Structure 1
Amino acid sequence: MDAEFWHSRWAENRIGFHLNDINPVLAKYWPRLNTTRSDTVLVPMCGKSVDLTWLAEKHDNVIGIELSDIAVKAFFSEQFYIPTVTSIGCGQTLYEFDEITIHCGDFFATRIDPVDIVYDRAALIAMPPTLRQMYAEHLLSMVKAGGRILLVTLDYPQAEMDGPPFSVTKGEVEQLFAGCKITHLDRDDADESHPRRKRGLSRFAEEVWLIEV
């Protein structure tokens, strides 16, 4: 993962990947994870997503991991939260407010106690092919046995567009999470009016997966 690339995207406010509203996929499929309020939820590469606030209304412990301090500070500012900020070494800073904790720093250097649930909308698809196996292994090391992952991926001809976000195929999801139970929940194929299709992609789809560890 090219840290400078992501730092520059946030510094220049080139964040087309950010959603201003709750992700409809999250609201639609969260019940499939059979969560309880006491479940700890992890959101890798969380940015300044308002999904964190939605999750915090349902869970007592929501943990984000984000490389960009610009994104983390923007999240708390836009939500009118005043966090406690603590440097914890190894280039990591901890931001805490009520149910929400965000680790600001390199995902691969982050160490947390295993969580019950993961919501990955933007992390795996941000990883180039060379880092995806390492990403999946590190992510799974953060999940308790019996934990669940709600994963969102994209499927499009990679040769037709440079990532990120990258295309991650069904076969790659199955390879990365081999040994887990994988359920394909949804596939939404975009029509010609979709912005990505207008840029020349012959097809573009968002897919949703339930992965049980």
Structure 2
Amino acid sequence: MDKDFWLTKWASNRIGFHSTDVNPLLIEYWPALSPKGDEHVLVPLCGKSEDLVWLASKHQKVIGVELSEIAVRAFFAEHFYLPLVTHIDSSHVYYEFDELEIYQGDVFTAPLSGVDLIYDRAALVSIAPSQRYAYAQRLCSLLKPGGRILLITVDYVQDELAGPPFSVDAEQVQQLFPGMKTMLLCRQEADQHHPKIARQNLTRFADEVWLIEA
């Protein structure tokens, strides 16, 4: 992961990837995981996503990981939350408020423990391809037996557009999670009016939603 790239994005407020609404794909497909309220949820590379608040309304513990201190502080400030802040070491800071916990630091090294559920909306597709397998292994190492992942990816011809977000097609998803059950829940094909098609002149662009079970 290019840390400087993402830190610069937040520092310069170039965050077109951030949505002020809860992701409708999360609302529609989260039930596919048969989630229970006492199951712990991990949201890697969470930014200041509204998805955190939605998940915290459903679960007793939601754990985010975010590299940017600006993003983490903005999340709590914008919701008028006053978190307890603990400096774990020189690279990681822990924020806690009710059901929400956020580790500010690198997702590869944050001191996380096992979780039941993982929601990956824009993390895998933002990881450089050279680090993609290491990231997937990191997720698998954090998932408890019987755990599930809701993964949202994008699929396009990679040569037509420099990521991020990077294209991660069905074959790659299956290769990244060997020994796990992968099920495509949804594929939303963009039409010619979609910004990625209209502005970038792409051959295709699609959002895909995956259920991955340990």
User: Above 0.5 in TM-score?
Assistant: yes
* Identical positions, percent: 55
CA apart distance, 1:110: 1.2
SS in structure 2 of the partner of residue 107 of structure 1: coil
Equivalent position of 1:204 in the other structure: 205
Summarize the alignment of residues 71-90 of structure 1 with structure 2, pairs less than 5 Å apart. Answer: 71-90=71-90
Give, as a single letter, the amino acid of the residue that structure 2 aligns with 1:161: L
Alignment pair present for 1:34 and 2:10 = no
Summarize the alignment of residues 71-150 of structure 1 with structure 2, pairs less than 5 Å apart. Answer: 71-150=71-150
TM-score by length of structure 2 reads 0.98
CA apart distance, 1:111: 2.4
User: Runs of 5+ in structure 1 lacking a partner?
Assistant: none
Equivalent position of 2:12 in the other structure: 12
In structure 2, how many angstroms separate the alpha carbons of the residues matched to 1:8 and 1:113? Answer: 29
TM-score by length of structure 1 reads 0.99
SS in structure 2 of the partner of residue 63 of structure 1: strand
SS in structure 2 of the partner of residue 72 of structure 1: helix
In structure 1, how many angstroms separate the alpha carbons of the residues matched to 2:76 and 2:202? Answer: 36
CA apart distance, 1:176: 0.3
User: Runs of 5+ in structure 2 lacking a partner?
Assistant: none
In structure 1, how many angstroms separate the alpha carbons of the residues matched to 2:112 and 2:90? Answer: 14
Q: What CA deviation, in whole Å up to 9, does each residue of 1:38-79 have, x standing for no partner? A: 000000000000100000001010000000000000100111
Give, as a single letter, the amino acid of the residue that structure 1 aligns with 2:168: V
* CA RMSD between the two structures: 0.7
CA apart distance, 1:189: 0.3
SS in structure 2 of the partner of residue 32 of structure 1: helix
In structure 2, how many angstroms separate the alpha carbons of the residues matched to 1:173 and 1:68? Answer: 27
CA apart distance, 1:182: 0.5
Give, as a single letter, the amino acid of the residue that structure 1 aligns with 2:78: E
SS in structure 2 of the partner of residue 148 of structure 1: strand
Equivalenced residue count is 213
SS in structure 1 of the partner of residue 47 of structure 2: coil
SS in structure 1 of the partner of residue 108 of structure 2: helix
Give, as a single letter, the amino acid of the residue that structure 2 aligns with 1:155: D
Greater shift after overlay, 89-98 or 42-51? Answer: 89-98
In structure 1, how many angstroms separate the alpha carbons of the residues matched to 2:196 and 2:20? Answer: 18
